[in-house]
Amino acid sequence: MTRFKIALLTGDGIGPEISNSSVAILKTLSEQFHLRLDIRNVEAGDRTLKRLGKALPQESIDVIETSDVCLKGPVGETAADVIVKLRQLLDLYANLRPAKAYPQVSNYRQGIDLLIVRENTEDLYRGHEFEFDGGAVALRLITKNACSRIAEYAFRMARERGLQKRVIAVHKANVLRKTDGLFSRVCREVASRNVDIDFNEMYVDAAAMNLIRNPNQFDVLVTTNLYGDILSDEAAQLVGGLGVAPSANVGDNFALFEPVHGSAPDIAGKGIANPLAMLLCVKMMMDWWALKSADESARRAAEALEDAVLCTLARTRTPDLGGNSSTREVTNSVIRQLKKEPRS
């Protein structure tokens, strides 16, 4: 079995608390499923900036680049210096934001199981903004290559998930004829090569409405950077909020997994941070590794971890989900569930 090298970036605020929880779970998974995990700590973020003068030092980049994957906690004020730089450096062009309704979460909507595949490198987020006398202008970059690879990725995900096998391309091509027009055209081209997957298009305003009105119609949504950013927060809220929202930044050879939430400075150090978003990142990471290396143990570990999170949600919750348990109690509950049945 190949060794799986994980760069662990703990981050700021509640980052160290939820990262400790993730390490405890990774150790349990490694024992239960005989996984060979090599966890390497890397420093980045606000505390690193204070200590070393740089939010993302070269030594950390070196460790990340020589690992198979990065598991990242939330970073505070320096978030953009860390995550935006890593996305560009490692060409992590697909941002995956799943939203799955767990019946155990109180404000859930039943049956939602969707994935937003957001283009991660272009659009207004390139930061080409200019001021002129009396106004400002932002340039939006959309290229054929980026549209093509994100659309291909979305179709692959729809096939791998094996659920509704449906991709919906979300854009506003009726108004933004050149930029979103290109995105729409390329998605259609890619759809014509993936005829086993059902394909439709939806304007972004309609998609925002339909996520509330009838979220169960969605399987995989593919969209550009800004729309994806907004729609994925909306979708996360539909299924229980930030405490249970994981995400992945994926390239062709590398992936970085991070909870959607920030460093939550208001609750840092209190021992009540919800570790489940980061634990669901561990689940996504195991799924990714299973696919990349055809490692059946990693796939079973991912499945068991999701089951353990579900069992835990039914009985033990942190205050953000209406409970009164601590980070440690939730973590211990997940560990107990994982150890319940001997696995090989």
CA 95, 150, 168, 70: dihedral to nearest 10 degrees? -20
Nearest residue to ligand ATP, by Cβ distance, number only: 262
Mark whether 108 is an active-site residue. Answer: no
Mark whether 283 is an active-site residue. Answer: no
Q: How do 246-250 and 94-100 pair as beta strands?
A: antiparallel
285: exposed, middle or buried (Cβ count in 10 Å: 0-12, 13-18, 19+): buried
Binding status of residue 171 toward ligand ATP by CB under 6 A: no
Q: How far is the CB of 146 from ligand ATP (least distance, A)?
A: 27
Q: Please give the Cα distance from 179 to 175 (Å, whole number).
A: 9
Per CB under 6 A, contacts with ligand ATP among 71-110 are: 74, 76
Helix ranges restricted to H, the chain: 15-33, 46-52, 58-65, 79, 85-89, 144-161, 179-192, 204-213, 225-238, 276-293, 296-315, 327-340
Binding status of residue 45 toward ligand ATP by CB under 6 A: no
Binding status of residue 11 toward ligand ATP by CB under 6 A: no
Q: How far is the CB of 260 from ligand ATP (least distance, A)?
A: 8
Binding status of residue 282 toward ligand ATP by CB under 6 A: no
Catalytic residue, chosen from 12, 72, 153, 172, is 172
The C-alpha angle 62, 68, 69, rounded to 5 degrees, equals 85
Catalytic residue, chosen from 81, 123, 229, 287, is 229
Per CB under 6 A, contacts with ligand ATP among 289-328 are: 318, 320
Q: Please give the Cα distance from 164 to 219 (Å, whole number).
A: 6
Mark whether 233 is an active-site residue. Answer: yes
Catalytic residue, chosen from 102, 125, 153, 227, is 125
Out of 19, 95, 249, 274, point to the residue binding ligand ATP (CB under 6 A). Answer: 274
Check if the beta carbon of residue 148 is closer than 8 Å to that of residue 186.
Answer: yes
Spatial neighbors of 67 by CB under 8 A, at least 6 apart, are 5, 6, 7, 40
Q: How far is the CB of 320 from ligand ATP (least distance, A)?
A: 4
Question: Which residue, 103 or 269, is less far from ligand ATP as judged by CB?
Answer: 269
Catalytic residue, chosen from 38, 205, 252, 339, is 205
Q: How far is the CB of 324 from ligand ATP (least distance, A)?
A: 13
Cβ atoms within 10 Å of 294's Cβ, excluding its own: 10
Q: How far is the CB of 42 from ligand ATP (least distance, A)?
A: 19
Mark whether 93 is an active-site residue. Answer: no
Check if the beta carbon of residue 333 is closer than 8 Å to that of residue 287.
Answer: no
Q: Please give the Cα distance from 246 to 288 (Å, whole number).
A: 13
Q: How far is the CB of 46 from ligand ATP (least distance, A)?
A: 9
Contacting residues toward ligand ATP, per CB under 6 A = 13-14, 74, 76, 242-243, 261-267, 273-274, 277, 318, 320
- Kindly list the catalytic residues: 125, 172, 205, 229, 233
